[in-house]
Amino acid sequence: MATIELQNICQHFGHNAKAHVEEVVNPFAMVARLVKNMQTEMTSNVPKGAFAIDNLNLTIPDGKTMVILGPSGCGKTTLLRIIAGLMRPESGNVLYDGVDVKDIPPGERQIGMVFQNYALYPHFTAKNNILSYFRFQKHTPELDLVAQEKYQKTSELLGVDIDYLLDKKPAHLSGGEKQRVAIGRCITREPKLFLLDEPFSNLDQPLREKYRLHLKKLLRHFHITTVYVTHDQQEAMILADLLAIMNIGRIEQVGTPEEIYAQPHSMFVAGFLNFDSETPAINFLDGAFIAQELNGMVIGVRSEDIEVCDQGQISETSLRARVIDVRHNPIKNVTILCVKAGNDEMYASLPFNTRITPRDELGIRFKAYHVFDKTTGLRIQSSSTR
């Protein structure tokens, strides 16, 4: 196990690049990068052109799972590759337990890595992939014994259903099976650090859900420091001890999912972290519409923090609104309203089956809200009557 520290990391790509990336000579890493770049090209939300990580600092505490969550192209994989040593940053330090690992090659850092494409050895069976760490060492009867024990323990932890795929080669394994073999391969080497880059992105939804719970169990069992990269909010929420929200080369906020949701540092974080995909993460409203002294500010209010009242109960502390749309969701036990107040449209989550219909006129009140500076996007204050 290890505490990982990133200190003042800088890395530039594109036309503002200060230097060429020093790619550690590793054919697998280079192929993975090419594939990754093609995928990023196709899906990135970040403006094309220069990309920079400037003076990034981050600590991943010993034994914790830190999920790096951010939009496509914000630099999550770059960060993971810097931690792994697959890329040397232009400047800054990476420390494992306080020791600078600049001169330690990736293969000697005791890392278990699982990438999107799993990078299994195609000519090895599943069993030999799981044991590949031992297969590359000088063969001795003692090593065979250790390997057998490790293998036994790993397959127990991965679940009984790994047995039937052991003699198959990767070409004959499904995405979920490859993923289990890749994780098994990591566990067998007893890493001090797990690095996982969207390992479930090739799986369909039910399998993703199954395997992420399985992975959570494994991570709990081993207490290995883990960095998990994803842009899937549900995955992040389930797996994270700590979340780091990333945006265009910057870590915007670090904390538990609950802390970040309750006290977002910025409009980006407030609008990005969404506990419930039924509604937008937060409603942003023009401060001036709420009160004159809030001119130049933006109000952020979560859908669950909006309550409604009859027109007759509208007071100084409530706003007039018109219902645009009503959706009842019996599974989640909520009724979602879309209402318009002034020029602002917003969503409210109410108890299931609330008797409201489109075009109703009503009053709305905020139980809690955040105030953001319109120019910097930073949170200035929060208010709650909950």
Ligand X SMILES: Nc1ncnc2c1ncn2[C@@H]1O[C@H](COP(=O)(O)OP(=O)(O)OP(=O)(O)O)[C@@H](O)[C@H]1O
Q: Is 44 in the site for ligand X (CB under 6 A)?
A: yes
Tokens representing 376 are 């910097």
Stretch of 34-42, 101-109, 278-286, 333-341 lying at the interface with ligand X (CB under 6 A) = 34-42
Binding test (CB under 6 A) with ligand X, winner from 16, 55, 57, 72: 72
Q: Is 36 in the site for ligand X (CB under 6 A)?
A: yes
User: Which residue stretch of 71-79, 299-307, 331-339, 378-386 sits at the interface with ligand X (rule: CB under 6 A)?
Assistant: 71-79
Query: In this structure, are residues 78 and 87 in contact, taking their beta carbons and an 8 Å threshold?
Result: yes
| Binders in 148-167 for ligand X, by CB under 6 A | none
Number of residues that bind ligand X (CB under 6 A): 19
Nearer to ligand X, 72 or 110 (CB): 72
Triad 83, 45, 17: Cα angle to 5°: 55
Contacts (CB under 6 A) with ligand X, residues 226-245: 231
Q: Which stretch binds ligand X (CB under 6 A): 72-80, 125-133, 305-313, 343-351?
A: 72-80
| Axis-axis angle for helices 141-158, 175-188 (nearest 10) | 130
Reported as type and span, the H/E element at residue 254 is strand 250-255
Record the tokens describing residue 60, joined without a space.
């991943």
Determine if 13 is a binding residue for ligand X (CB under 6 A).
yes
Q: Which residue number, 51 or 118, has a Cβ lying nearer to ligand X?
A: 51
Give the nearer residue to ligand X in terms of CB position, either 11 or 155: 11
Counting Cβ atoms within 10 Å, is residue 3 exposed (0-12), middle (13-18) or buried (19+)?
middle
Single out the segment in contact with ligand X by CB under 6 A; choices: 44-52, 152-160, 292-300, 371-379: 44-52
Pair 40, 78: CB distance under 8 Å? no
Regarding 21 and contact with ligand X (CB under 6 A), the answer is: yes
Minimum separation from the CB atom of position 311 to ligand X (A): 47
What minimum distance in Å lies between the beta carbon of 377 and ligand X? Answer: 20
Dist. CA 129–CA 206, nearest whole Å? 25
H-helix segments, the chain: 27-43, 76-84, 126-130, 132-135, 141-158, 175-188, 205-222, 233-239, 257-262, 267-272, 287-290
42 vs 205: CA distance, rounded Å? 22
85 binds ligand X (CB under 6 A): no
28 vs 164, beta carbon nearer ligand X: 28
Q: What is the bridge-based pairing of β-strands 344-351 and 225-230? A: unpaired
Closer of 77 and 303 to ligand X (Cβ) = 77
CB of 92 to ligand X, least distance (A): 16
Instruction: Point out which span in 65-73, 118-126, 254-262, 356-364 binds ligand X (CB under 6 A).
Output: 65-73
- Does residue 7 belong to the site contacting ligand X (CB under 6 A)? no
Q: Which is nearer to ligand X, 162 or 243 (CB)?
A: 243
* Buried b / exposed e along 200-237 (16+ C-beta atoms within 10 A): bbbbeeeebeebbebbeebbeebebbbbbbbbbbebbb
* Residue 132 interacting with ligand X (CB under 6 A): no
Q: State which residue, 88 or 189, has the beta carbon closest to ligand X.
A: 88
Which residues are within 8 A (CB) of 296 and not within 5 positions of it... i.e. 6 or more apart?
Answer: 287, 288, 373, 374, 375
Q: How far is the CB of 74 from ligand X (least distance, A)?
A: 4
Nearer to ligand X, 65 or 128 (CB): 65
CA distance 165 to 299: 54
Distances, alpha carbon 344 to alpha carbons 276, 282, 356, in Å:
21, 13, 19
CB proximity list for 36: less than 8 A, separation 6 or greater = 77, 116
* Among residues 30, 31, 38, 43, the one that binds ligand X under rule CB under 6 A: 43
Residues that bind ligand X (CB under 6 A): 13, 21, 33, 36-37, 40, 43-44, 46, 51, 70, 72-78, 231
